A = this chain, B = another copy of it.
Amino acid sequence: MTPQTAIAELISAGELFHRRGWVPATGGNFSARLSAEKMLVTASGWHKGELQEDAFLIAGMDGRPDDASRKASYETLLHCQVYRFDARVGSVLHTHSIANTVLSRQKESIRLSGYELLKLLPGIQTHDATVEVPVFENDQDIPRLAAKVDEAMKRRPGMPAYLISGHGLYAWGDSVAQARHRVEALEFMFECELHSR
């Protein structure tokens, strides 16, 4: 994936998420893998629904920007963790919706069962399945949080996405398009759960 294509697709994903109310203020952040060693990631402080070309920077898989004068999104290490854990992942998207915030503050994991849209998640072929999306406690120490996520993924390699309590969703896919579709499917099922209580 060229940086130009990745930028265009991430800007457009951000505009959709903004219309939906999933990236309020400076919430959320997005990335795409450029190679085995490099990723494109949103810079700190931008509104994710109003991204422009200079809202993106290139960083290594340790989260360090190639241009040391720039500052990557606060949670860049959480993106790195996913890319390092699974070499097939091409994009990681973090959204901050009302549904995912409310549910993540109330539960230790979100159990999704019987939804047709479960088929959008990795390895699932039927609605007749149950998926657990784990909720991690929020932590301002991002390296520590990334390590906890990594540990949990190692224990359970098929984790399809995860939530951070009061903070939002991390989802991913082979491409920006697939990651975006998974975000849409997960946010949809979260809203259904919210309206089913």
Contacts and interface: CB of A to CB of B under 8 A. Distances in A.
Interface stretch (A21-29, A34-42, A77-85, A149-157): A21-29
Nearest to A191: B98
A33 interface: no
A104 to B, nearest CB: 10
Given A127-B140, A138-B116, A140-B125, A25 B168 contact: no
Contact of A26 (B120, B125, B126, B140): B120
B120 A196 contact: no
Nearest to A12: B50
Contact of A188 (B24, B164, B185): B24
A149 to B, nearest CB: 16
Nearest to A19: B19
A181 B28 CA distance: 13
26 contacts: A24-B185, A25-B117, A25-B120, A25-B182, A25-B184, A26-B181, A27-B117, A96-B116, A96-B117, A96-B188, A98-B195, A99-B195, A101-B115, A102-B196, A105-B192, A106-B196, A114-B138, A114-B166, A116-B138, A116-B164, A126-B140, A127-B138, A127-B167, A128-B138, A128-B140, A194-B195
Interface of A: 19-21, 24-27, 47, 96, 98-99, 101-102, 105-106, 114-117, 120, 125-128, 138, 140, 164-168, 181-182, 184-185, 187-188, 191-192, 194-196
B98 A166 contact: no
The quantity of this chain's copies bound in the complex is 4
A187 to B, nearest CB: 8
A45 to B, nearest CB: 9
A192 B168 CA distance: 12
A87 B104 CA distance: 39
